[in-house]
């Protein structure tokens, strides 16, 4: 395995799935909000379907089919697509935003805050998420995640895995690519970052997609560090 | 005096002079670095002259005379202008950057970290500085300033007091202008923010420019809150 560079300065983190449990949080929160608006459906599959529209929605922006559009707007639009598909009553404009803002309240995995706090003592710790800046800041406030800063696809007007997102952080911080490490639970994200010269840290999240997860069940690249939890990853980084 | 809005969500802070003592820090740090590079001058007036070039340098960007250029680059260029003016030996490219990076290490006023920490419990606390993002993140790490996020002129490619900078934060955070408060030691900055509809908090920094300061010795606008220190300002905001 590649080593952790001695002059590593900044750890940036994928957020959905890596730091927070989007699926568990949505499954917990959706039924209550559904009840408030008189909407009844299988909210577990709704959560999966909503997340399922995440990549296709961003892809419309990447292809230029949509101008730059942030994740809140894409989440809201995807939510409304699902309402139509499932024949559910529209909860009104403000209701639609209330559902969309559930993504601002996703809870961290039990080890995330501790592990990131350990890394914060030695490195700059920041997001590099496709979530927009307001979402990331609000989520950190709700969940007590001690970021030094929130970088987002919105910052660079490019969604991961576009190279402009990873290299945007490198350039903004006046560093060499290897001095920035992407920490993520997704091998594909790490591969794209590595291609740009960044260091890479894999954290295992075998329940991100629920009990029957098929993907990202192990590190399948030459990453600089690998951990079964964020705390273990922090230890691998000398924290 | 105007009141503090009950639905205030985000406090953004001017940094140079408001949160950190740029003059005292530079006067402390410049002589040592000068000695290292064999440069001798009156470093106190050098610090004042360097800061004196800050507004003119940004103005070149505002006028379109320069394309977007961040503060590190503008600081470095101004440093080199002063070398020429004072007939000082150029310390080389890396040396010039070492001087420029002194701005990343400016120390907070004694009450800043405590006051901002108090506000952080109730509000999102973030910079809105003309300093670039790397400078702000590094400064926060060095000084222990607990920002939730660093907004910068660099984020919006507009230097304060351009409206795009203040309104950039409002739009990014999906808020109404009055839900964002600019906290600053400079009446001019607050006036520009107020014109955009933001709330305003004045903190008195009577020694920013040294013992003979003539400007900003009192609040001279209808600000929503005024404090003699960051801790007092935090108390006025109900923290």
- Residue A70 contacts B where some CB pair is shorter than 8 Å: no
Measure A206 CA to nearest chain B CA, in Å: 29
Q: Which two tokens stand for residue A65?
A: 């089919």
Q: Check if the beta carbon of residue B145 is closer than 8 Å to that of residue B118.
A: no
Nearest-by-Cβ selection for B173 from A134, A155, A174: A134
The residue of chain B with its CA nearest to that of A97 is B174
Which burial class, exposed, middle or buried, applies to B212 when counting CB atoms under 10 A from its CB (0-12, 13-18, 19+)? exposed
Tell me what pLDDT residue B2 has. Answer: 75
Partner-chain contact A134 B72, CB within 8 Å: no
- Are A147 and B148 within 8 A, CB to CB? yes
CATH 1.10.150.240 for the A22-105 domain, yes or no: yes
What mean pLDDT is reported for chain A? Answer: 97
Identify the pLDDT of residue B168: 98
Do the Cβ atoms of A132 and B173 come within 8 Å? no
| β-sheet bridge partners, residue A182 | A12, A200
Chain A nearest-CA residue for B146 = A148
Residues of chain B found within 8 Å of residue A138, distances taken between Cβ atoms: 124
Q: Which of B72, B140, B148 is the closest to A140 by Cβ?
A: B148
Q: Provide the shortest C-alpha distance from residue A184 to chain B (in Å).
A: 21
The pLDDT value given to residue A2: 75
B94 touches chain A (CB under 8 A): no
Please report residues of B whose CB lies closer than 8 A to that of A174: 72, 134
- Confidence check: pLDDT of A137 > 90: yes
Beta strands at B10-13 and B124-129: parallel, antiparallel or unpaired: parallel
State the pLDDT at residue B1.
59
Burial category of B204 from C-beta neighbours within 10 Å (exposed 0-12, middle 13-18, buried 19 and up): middle
Return the residue of A nearest to B120 by Cα.
Answer: A141
Which tens digit of pLDDT belongs to each residue from B136-145?
999 999 999 9
Mean predicted confidence (pLDDT) in A131-145: 98
Question: Angle at which helices A71-86 and A54-62 pack, to 10 degrees?
Answer: 130
Residue of B nearest to A156 (CA): B155
Q: Is B149 on the interface with A (CB under 8 A)?
A: yes
DSSP B7-32: T--EEEE--BTTTB-HHHHHHHHHHH
Mutation target to probe the B interface, by most B beta carbons within 10 A, among A97, A149, A154 is: A149
Please say whether the beta carbons of A150 and A143 come within 8 A. no
- Residues of A in Cβ contact (< 8 Å) with B132: 172
Q: Is the pLDDT of residue B146 over 90?
A: yes
The CATH fold of domain B10-21+106-236:
Rossmann fold (3.40.50)
Cβ distance A137 to B154 less than 8 Å, yes or no, reads no
Distance from the A185 Cα atom to the nearest Cα atom in chain B, whole angstroms = 24
pLDDT tens profile B33-56: 999 999 999 999 999 999 999 999
Say if residues A239 and A231 touch (Cβ distance below 8 Å). Answer: no
- For every residue of B182-207, which 3-state class applies, written as one string? EEECCHHHHHHHHHCCCEEEEECCCC
Contact B149 A154 (CB under 8 A): no
Nearest by CB to B150, which of A140, A149, A174? A149
Query: Per-domain residue ranges for chain A?
Result: 10-21+106-236, 22-105
Share of chain B above pLDDT 90, in %: 99
Alpha-carbon torsion, ordered A112, A117, A121, A123, to 10 deg: 40
B152-169: per-residue pLDDT in tens? 999 999 999 999 999 999
Q: What is the overall mean pLDDT for chain B?
A: 97
Whether chain A has a CB inside 8 Å of the CB on B154: the answer is yes
Which residues in chain B have Cβ-Cβ distances shorter than 8 Å to A148?
137, 140-141, 147
Chain A with chain B: Cβ pairs closer than 8 A: 44
What DSSP assignment string belongs to A39-70? --S-HHHHHHHHHHTHHHHHHHHHTTSS-S--
Which member of B133, B137, B149 has the closest CB to residue A137?
A: B149
Overall average pLDDT of the A1-22 stretch: 95
CB contact under 8 Å between B172 and A147, yes or no, is no
Q: A154 vs B172: CB contact, 8 Å cut-off?
A: yes
Contacts of A149 in chain B (CB under 8 A): 133, 137, 147, 149-150
**For residue A172, which residues of chain B lie inside 8 Å, CB to CB?**
132-134, 154
Instruction: Report yes or no: A149 at the B interface, CB cutoff 8 Å.
Output: yes
Using pLDDT thresholds of 50, 70 and 90, give the confidence band for residue B129: very high
pLDDT in tens, B195-228: 999 999 999 999 999 999 999 999 999 999 999 9
With beta carbons less than 8 A apart as the criterion, state whether A11 and A201 touch. yes
pLDDT band at B234 (very low <50, low <70, confident <90, very high): very high
pLDDT tier for residue A1 given thresholds of 50, 70 and 90: low
- Least Cα separation, residue A220 to chain B (angstroms): 32
């Amino acid at each position: 395995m590649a080593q952790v560079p001695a002059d590593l300065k900044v750890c940036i983190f994928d957020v959905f799935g890596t730091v927070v449990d989007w699926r568990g949080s949505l499954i917990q929160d959706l039924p209550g909000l559904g009840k408030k608006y008189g909407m009844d459906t299988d909210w577990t599959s709704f959560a999966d379907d909503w997340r399922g529209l995440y990549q296709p929605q961003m892809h419309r922006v990447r292809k230029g089919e949509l101008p730059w559009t942030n994740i809140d707007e894409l989440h809201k639009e995807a939510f409304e697509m699902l309402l139509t598909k499932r024949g559910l009553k529209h909860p009104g404009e403000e209701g639609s935003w209330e559902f969309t803002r559930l993504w601002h309240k996703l809870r961290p995995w039990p080890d995330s805050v501790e592990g990131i706090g350990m890394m914060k003592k030695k490195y700059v710790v920041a997001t590099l998420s496709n979530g927009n800046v307001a979402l990331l800041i609000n989520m950190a406030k709700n969940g007590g995640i001690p970021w030094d800063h929130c970088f987002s696809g919105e910052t660079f007007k490019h969604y991961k895995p576009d190279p402009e997102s990873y290299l945007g952080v490198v350039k903004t911080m006046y560093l060499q690519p290897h001095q920035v490490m992407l920490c993520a639970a997704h091998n594909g994200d790490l591969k794209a970052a590595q291609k740009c010269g960044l260091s890479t840290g894999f954290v295992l999240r075998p329940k991100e997609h629920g009990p029957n997860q098929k993907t990202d069940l192990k590190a399948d690249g030459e990453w600089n560090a690998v951990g079964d939890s964020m705390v273990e990853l922090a230890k691998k980084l000398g924290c």
